[in-house]
């Protein structure tokens, strides 16, 4: 544990409680400016998709945090493509990928869907992932599948090399759907599916920017592995409540905390390729945030070492959702 904590300290200095409060006041105050430009830009881009996401049309998002996870994923993609030449020309395509991620991932994980409806929809997704134009002749099980097919078709038309990787990603999502239903698998099954889902997710970005360097592919895969394990750690309580089984829920059940998974995440952060050093900082911020956000899932010893490094004194996801919704509401009132 000490070794992992030392790795995090390389990127994050301790911050006093008074500085944390100052930071929170800056972020939440009426004159806040940190990140507001990025939030406003994202809300502008996502407005055409608000209806299908169920926002401001008499419904609610399929998952309460889909806006938060969506914007975090988008700007994670944004920071990734900035490592490549002509990155500005790929912003439209990473946004299409972002919308595809929100629609497919949150649809597959939606526990409120009738199981038969989901099963039939997933079967149709299998057809559409190989030929998205098939939606024109199919009787679709759910209208959202048409939107998914259109967005996907636009993305693979702009970036043809993404198709094979997106198919691999989709197949890993479906494999994960089967695994997460079973509470009795060995730890490595949950661990391996997390690495596959996350790894392929980031490799799609590499194909979007047109890079095919095998070393970059391996580094990108690792970035995705870490991202997925962070995501599973953040979602562990809701996943456990909803009967979704992941590497995080397995550890919480069998080891009584997520310390081992946290150490694994941090050690992987420490070995990120120098090409993507910015992700060492970003992922370290998440790593020290999670034990404060979900203290019941970590040992007192680990929390005592990470809490002084955590910038936030609040639920960051809820704050982010509120800020985005405020921006969307204000834009509708204009």
pLDDT band at 46; cut points 50, 70, 90: confident
278-334 pLDDT, tens digit each: 999 999 999 999 998 899 999 999 999 999 998 876 665 565 556 665 655 565 444
The stretch 245-257 carries a mean pLDDT of 96
For 48-52, 85-89, 207-211, 320-324, which range has the lowest pLDDT when averaged over its residues? Answer: 320-324
Give the pLDDT of residue 9: 85
For 20-29, 156-165, 195-204, 303-312, which range has the lowest pLDDT when averaged over its residues? Answer: 20-29
Length of the chain: 334
Give the pLDDT of residue 333: 42
Mean pLDDT for the chain overall: 86
Radius of gyration of the chain (CA): 20
Give the pLDDT of residue 275: 92
For 61-65, 141-145, 237-241, 281-285, which range has the lowest pLDDT when averaged over its residues? Answer: 61-65
Cα–Cα dist 291/302, whole Å: 8
Output the domain CATH number for residue 153: 1.10.600
Give the pLDDT of residue 36: 67
Give the pLDDT of residue 71: 82
| Whether the predicted pLDDT of 56 surpasses 60 | no
Domain of 315, in residue numbers: 2-333
What string of H, E and C letters represents the secondary structure of 118-186? HHHHHHHHHHHHHCHHHHHCCCCCCCHHHHHHHHHHHHHHHCCCHHHHHHHHHHHHHHHHHHCCCCCCC
Cα–Cα dist 279/164, whole Å: 26
Give the pLDDT of residue 48: 77
The stretch 246-258 carries a mean pLDDT of 96
The total number of structural domains that make up the chain: 1
Helix locations, 242-299, DSSP H: 247-255, 259-270, 277-293
Cα–Cα dist 132/120, whole Å: 16
The stretch 152-181 carries a mean pLDDT of 94
The stretch 126-144 carries a mean pLDDT of 92
């Amino acid at each position: 544990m000490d070794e992992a904590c030392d790795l995090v300290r390389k990127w994050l200095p301790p911050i006093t409680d008074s500085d944390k409060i100052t930071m929170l006041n800056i972020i939440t105050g009426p004159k806040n400016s940190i990140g507001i430009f990025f939030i406003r830009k994202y809300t502008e881009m996502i407005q055409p998709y608000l209806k299908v996401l169920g926002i401001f049309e008499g419904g609610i998002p399929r998952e309460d945090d889909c806006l938060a996870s969506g914007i975090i994923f988008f700007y994670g993609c944004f920071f990734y493509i900035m490592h490549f030449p002509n990155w500005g020309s790929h912003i439209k395509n990473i946004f299409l990928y972002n919308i595809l991620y929100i629609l497919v991932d949150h649809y597959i994980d939606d526990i409120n869907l009738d199981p038969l409806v989901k099963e039939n929809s997933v079967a149709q997704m299998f057809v559409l992932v190989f030929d998205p134009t098939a939606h024109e002749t199919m009787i679709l099980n759910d209208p959202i599948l048409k939107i998914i097919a259109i967005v996907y078709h636009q993305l693979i038309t702009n970036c043809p090399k993404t198709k094979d990787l997106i198919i691999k990603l989709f197949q890993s999502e479906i494999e994960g759907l089967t695994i997460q239903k079973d509470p009795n698998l060995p730890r490595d099954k949950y661990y391996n599916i997390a690495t596959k889902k996350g790894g392929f997710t980031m490799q799609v970005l590499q194909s979007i920017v047109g890079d095919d360097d095998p070393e970059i592919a391996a580094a990108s895969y690792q970035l995705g592995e870490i991202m997925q394990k962070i995501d599973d750690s953040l979602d562990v309580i809701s996943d456990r409540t909803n009967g979704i089984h992941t590497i995080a829920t397995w550890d919480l059940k069998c080891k009584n905390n997520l310390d081992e998974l946290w150490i694994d995440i941090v050690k992987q952060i420490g070995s990120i390729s120098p090409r993507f050093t910015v992700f060492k900082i970003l992922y370290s911020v998440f790593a020290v945030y999670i034990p404060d956000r979900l203290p019941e899932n970590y040992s007192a010893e680990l929390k005592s070492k990470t809490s002084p490094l955590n910038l936030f004194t609040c639920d960051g996801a809820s704050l982010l959702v509120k800020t985005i919704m405020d921006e969307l509401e204000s834009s509708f009132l204009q």
